[in-house]
Amino acid sequence: MELPLQEYEIENLLLWLDKIPLSRPKRNLRRDFSDGVLMAEVVKHFFPKYVELNSLVVSSNSKAGKMGNWNLLNRKVFPKLDFHVPEGMLSRIVLSSPGAIEPVLNTLREKIEKKLADIESKKLSLEVLDTRNLELTHEDIHLAETRILAQLAQMKVDEENIQRTLNQDLVVESCYKVKDPMILRQFLLEKDQTILNFQEIVKILQTKVEKLERLVQLKDKRIEELTRKVHFFMSK
């Protein structure tokens, strides 16, 4: 979390933040996020129940007020994401030190994406279990099929985006000319970690596909049962 981000990582981070509605326009990250309010808004955008914005000191210009907001987030909000900002890093963020907030924001993004993936995976698992013991109507079957097809289509888009990002990273690596071997080694380590993270996401997506396919099979089985019943009553 304390390592500075590469330029392309900062660009990706800014693109991610642009998709999140915030109460204040982003002009300078290190100043905009120094009081912790926008940090809380980012979490609230994805997990509304995790954050109570009225418990924060809004637009605080004092160091004590800013530190109070960050300490509150560290105690009550970040643990829900398995996330914590060290005290030394908090002091740098509160003072708007250059390069302090970007790594923290980037780590938060990773934690949020992992949490969302975990929630979706658990939700799909529960759907499979519930469907096994559920008597479905024709309308239920149609709605489930529509939702499943939409989710499968989204997963295909997600996998394509992951592959596109990996390809971009390879291009960046080939164009990234550095003379310092320590900087190059650090860059390669970060790239390898990014690839591992994406591979883990792909595994999660594949698991989702398998579960959704099981839902489709259950839906088809239910249709067969209903069809047999219809034929049985018609033959009487």
Neighbours of 206 (CB within 10 A): 12
Give the position of tokens 């890093």: 89
Report the chain's terminal Cα–Cα distance, integer Å.
72
Each residue's pLDDT tens digit, 83-130: 999 999 999 999 999 999 999 999 999 999 988 888 877 776 655 555
**pLDDT at site 34:** 94
Quote the CA–CA distance of 130 and 214 in Å, as a whole number. 12
Which pLDDT score is estimated for 175? 45
User: Where do runs of H (alpha helix) occur along 95-137?
Assistant: 101-132
Counting Cβ atoms within 10 Å, is residue 85 exposed (0-12), middle (13-18) or buried (19+)? buried
Task: State which residues of the chain have pLDDT below 50.
Answer: 133-136, 170-178
Q: What is the per-residue pLDDT for 41?
A: 96
pLDDT recorded at residue 2: 64
Q: Is residue 37 helix, strand or coil?
A: helix
Q: What are 65-72's contacts with CB under 8 Å, separation 24+?
A: 65/35, 66/34, 66/35, 66/36, 66/94, 67/91, 67/94, 69/35, 69/36, 69/37, 69/40, 70/36, 70/39, 70/94, 72/36
Residue 57's region, left for phi above 0, alpha for psi from -120 to 50, else beta, is beta
In this prediction the pTM is 0.55
**119/208 Cα distance (integer angstroms):** 12
CA separation for the pair 148, 12 (Å, rounded): 30
pLDDT computed for residue 159 by the predictor: 60
Q: Are 70 and 62 in contact (CB under 8 A)?
A: no
What letter would DSSP give residue 73? Answer: I
Q: Which 8-state DSSP code applies to residue 78?
A: G
Query: How far is CA 141 from its chain centroid?
Result: 30
What local confidence, expressed as pLDDT, does residue 74 receive? 96
Q: What is the pLDDT of residue 171?
A: 47
Q: State the pLDDT at residue 47.
A: 94
